[in-house]
Homo-oligomer: A and B are copies of this chain.
Amino acid sequence: MNGAESLLKTLINNNIDVCFCNPGTSEMHFVAALDKIEGMDCILCLFEGSISGAAGGYALMARKPASTLLHLGPGLGNALANMHNAKKGHIPIINIIGDHATYHLKYDAPLTSDIESIAGSVSHWVHTSKSANEIARDCISALREAINGKIASLILPADVSWGENENGPEGSISIEKKQTVSDKLIEKAVDILHSGQPTVIMIGGREIDRDSGMKLGRIAKVTGARLCAETFPSRMARGAGTAVMERLPYLAEMALEHLKDIENLILIGAGSPVSFFAYPGVPGRLVPENCQELMLAGPNDDINYAIDQLMMKLQAEVAEPELNELHLPEMPAGALNAHKIAATLACTIPDKAIIVDEAITSGMPIFPMTCTARAHDWLNLAGGSIGWGLPAAIGAAVACPDRKVICLEGDGSAMYTIQSLWTMAREDLDIIVIVFNNKKYCILEMEYSRIGAVGGTPGVKAASTMSIGDPDLNFVKLARGMGVEAYQVTTAEEFNSRMQEALNHRGPSLIDAIIPALFR
């Protein structure tokens, strides 16, 4: 059994059975192994930014690591932005990155690059396998990291791949999660929650599931603490039957206002709230000066244990949490805009839908509007690098073939990884893509006016860097060019009808929603 086969078998033995890939020459033995060893579902993407985004969406929804197969440093470079997003979202991924044969590196061939450096910037763990005999064991080391919420990048030189592994593959191993939460911190949190001081419990990280939300809702009920999600938790259970929960606003000015009166902040999975960017004269830390922060559990700690302990010690088990009740607004009519799309979505999201939100400014009305929709999961862009939504939808749909995925996409961010539509068609994934086509990087116009010193309205040249009309992007043609059925809509009625059609049909489709920008 060669190195590549032993690596593949080790992955499969450990329940890693989906690989998002775009291989090259240096990965051909791994590709050949796919036909020799049963059990790996291999999904081709036409660009590596789709691969890393899909791996992230998959891992979130499958609650286990995805694997990727990337071609050398440049392939990894193409995957970098969405790998950054995954890292910031605490999402587990195992990257297999092919390299030249070890003895070939000295020739500095055209595709030679410093893969470890590139991988280091977006991975928690990087290792280059030294021989075929070691690759399966190295894979286990990567797994130990990934299972604990990390990005593990394993570099596979071509000769390690084609060399004989005399040790064979590794079997299924039990990997203990290195989750801990200190009982001392739990006591501290209990004291704070008993104090009656204005307190926010902020929950975030990889996933806010329905159960955790419910338990925290009970705790909030008995203690009077406010329950708040961080701005962009990677995954969040929402809609009818979930606990009522605030969300920290994106805009620093609004977030400061949101937190201004609190004296205690208990963080569970979430990081200390800071502004996305610095603005002249606006503080970067969003918590009041005199507020006490308690980091009860990090994103990879045992959050369930922490919450259970809190609930028990606060005798909150029997409290009735405040729940979102099902409330479907009226279907909108007339000229289309982001608010009307929000209303239609709030009405029509099917039970157990997965919402992937990269609608940027246009998405702002949708999140609050859908909190009383049918129960669904909501995926957020945790790392702020655009081009994540379409790929993440691929991954979510691969992980959950029985659930409808609705991908909310800004026009600008859609174009970053537009190739993803092809993979949706190739794999016949059950995804509705809604493109919010306002012909602008609207967020930049907003930021331009917020940035202070510059102020005011962009001049001609500045505006030209924020406008993506002229020529206007036609997402119907783009989607059809990649085998995805698509329609353009300009009224709420058209949108409602296309949405209903898409919901009734299994497979990918796209709605190109022509709307005005929310700002300016």
Chain A residues with CB under 8 Å of chain B are 2, 21-26, 28-29, 31-32, 34-36, 40, 42, 44, 46-47, 49, 72-75, 77-78, 80-81, 84-85, 88, 100-101, 103-104, 107-111, 113-114, 117-118, 120-122, 158-159, 162, 232, 271-272, 274-278, 280, 284-285, 382-385, 387, 412, 415-416, 418-419, 422, 425-426, 443-444, 447-448, 451-454, 458-462, 464-465, 468, 470-478, 480-483
Contact = CB atoms under 8 A, between A and B. Distances in A.
Contact of A465 (B44, B47, B453, B475): B44
A142 to B, nearest CB: 20
A195 B150 CA distance: 62
B451 A25 contact: yes
A261 to B, nearest CB: 22
A462 B36 CA distance: 10
A107 B28 contact: no
Contacts of A74: 80-81, 84-85, 383-385
A25 B84 CA distance: 18
A169 to B, nearest CB: 18
28 contacts: A21-B465, A28-B447, A28-B454, A29-B451, A29-B453, A29-B454, A32-B451, A35-B458, A42-B465, A47-B416, A73-B80, A73-B84, A77-B80, A77-B122, A78-B81, A80-B80, A104-B278, A110-B232, A111-B277, A114-B120, A159-B278, A162-B453, A471-B483, A474-B480, A476-B481, A477-B477, A478-B478, A478-B481
B77 A461 contact: no
A118 to B, nearest CB: 5
A122 B472 CA distance: 33
Nearest to A36: B459
A84 B108 contact: no
A399 to B, nearest CB: 20
A2 B278 CA distance: 17
Contacts of A22: 465
A464 B40 CA distance: 13
A416 B49 CA distance: 9
A243 to B, nearest CB: 25
A72, A232, A278, A470 — which one has the most chain B CB atoms within 10 A of its CB? A278
B454 A384 contact: no
A232 B110 CA distance: 9
Contacts of A483: 471-473
Contacts of A31: 448, 458, 461-462, 465
B107 A284 contact: yes
Contacts of A275: 104, 107, 109
B460 A35 contact: yes
A47 B468 CA distance: 12
Nearest to A106: B284
Contact of A110 (B32, B78, B88, B159): B88
Given A28-B448, A81-B77, A475-B481, A110 B276 contact: yes
A88 to B, nearest CB: 5
Contacts of A109: 274-277, 284, 384
A127 to B, nearest CB: 17
B383 A110 contact: yes
Contact of A107 (B104, B274, B425, B453): B274
A9 to B, nearest CB: 14
A358 to B, nearest CB: 14
Nearest to A383: B110
8 closest Cβ pairs, A-B complex: A471-B483, A35-B459, A77-B80, A477-B481, A74-B385, A101-B278, A478-B481, A107-B274
